[in-house]
Amino acid sequence: FTALFLLYFSANQSLVVPGVQSNAAPEEIHPALLPNDQNRIGIVSGHWGFDSGHVCAPELNSLREVDVNLRIATYLRDILTQRGYTVDLLREFDPALTDYVGLAILAIHTDSCDYINGNATGFKVSSIGAVAYSTEAKNLLDCLEDRFAHVTGANFAGNLVSSDAEPFYDYSMLDPYTTAAVIEPGFLNLDYRFLTEKTELIARGIADGIV
């Protein structure tokens, strides 16, 4: 995703030659990100600092969604930082999200503890917030879907995220040119062992999608 974005960014810059006046009509382009924002990524750890999210029954060790999300988000932050990105680890409804400017924002949530049916397993990805760069938004979703499935072997469960109330996916406060998405890496019920035992692998799959 970032490679595609930077290629798009480079292709849309005007070439100015000193002493030569161009007669070409100026192109209307979106505002460019500042250089220090081109590698800035925000990771929102779902429910962190707000509530517990889903809380599972004792037979699932009373597992809390907020703890699963934070473990994944922390690993993800460390991996992306090692790869040269500036990463902000953010709480749910973090004040820093207001007018947030960066290459991307990714929110991490996990799906329900309840047993729904035998098909309630796998990961979901979806765009959130305003979409100013529709191509970049699609690229991020496509890359997350492809890389996460490749790295983890998890089943893709679709683009409809619905395990939390709508306010948790309202990112209208972001700068409109910041591409935003949410990933739910699994269901706390059928994917319990995957979410609790493969946390670092999950984070690597997400990181590969972002990169």
- Give me the sign of the Cα torsion angle 131, 11, 29, 178: positive
Entry pTM: 0.82
**Contacts of residue 15, Cβ cutoff 8 Å, sequence gap at least 6:** none
> pLDDT digit string (tens) for 70-107?
999 999 999 999 999 999 999 999 999 999 999 999 99
Can you say how many angstroms the Cα of residue 17 is from the centroid of all Cα atoms in its chain?
39
For residue 167, CA distances in Å to 55, 78, 143, 162, 195 come to 19, 28, 26, 11, 24
From 99, 65, 97, select the one nearest 184 (Cα to Cα): 65
**Mean pLDDT over residues 10-15, rounded?**
42
pLDDT at 168: 82
> pLDDT digit string (tens) for 115-145?
999 999 999 999 888 778 889 899 999 999 9
Phi, psi for residue 3 in degrees, rounded to 5: -65, -40
Q: How far apart are CA 152 and CA 14, in angstroms?
A: 41
Report which secondary-structure segment, H or E, holds 158.
strand 156-158
Q: How far apart are CA 73 and CA 67, in angstroms?
A: 10
**DSSP-assigned beta bridge partners for residue 170:** none
Q: Tokens for 200? A: 């670092």
> pLDDT digit string (tens) for 155-207?
999 887 766 667 788 888 999 889 999 999 999 999 999 999 999 999 999 99
* Residue reference for tokens 């939390």: 164
Q: Tokens for 3? A: 């490679």
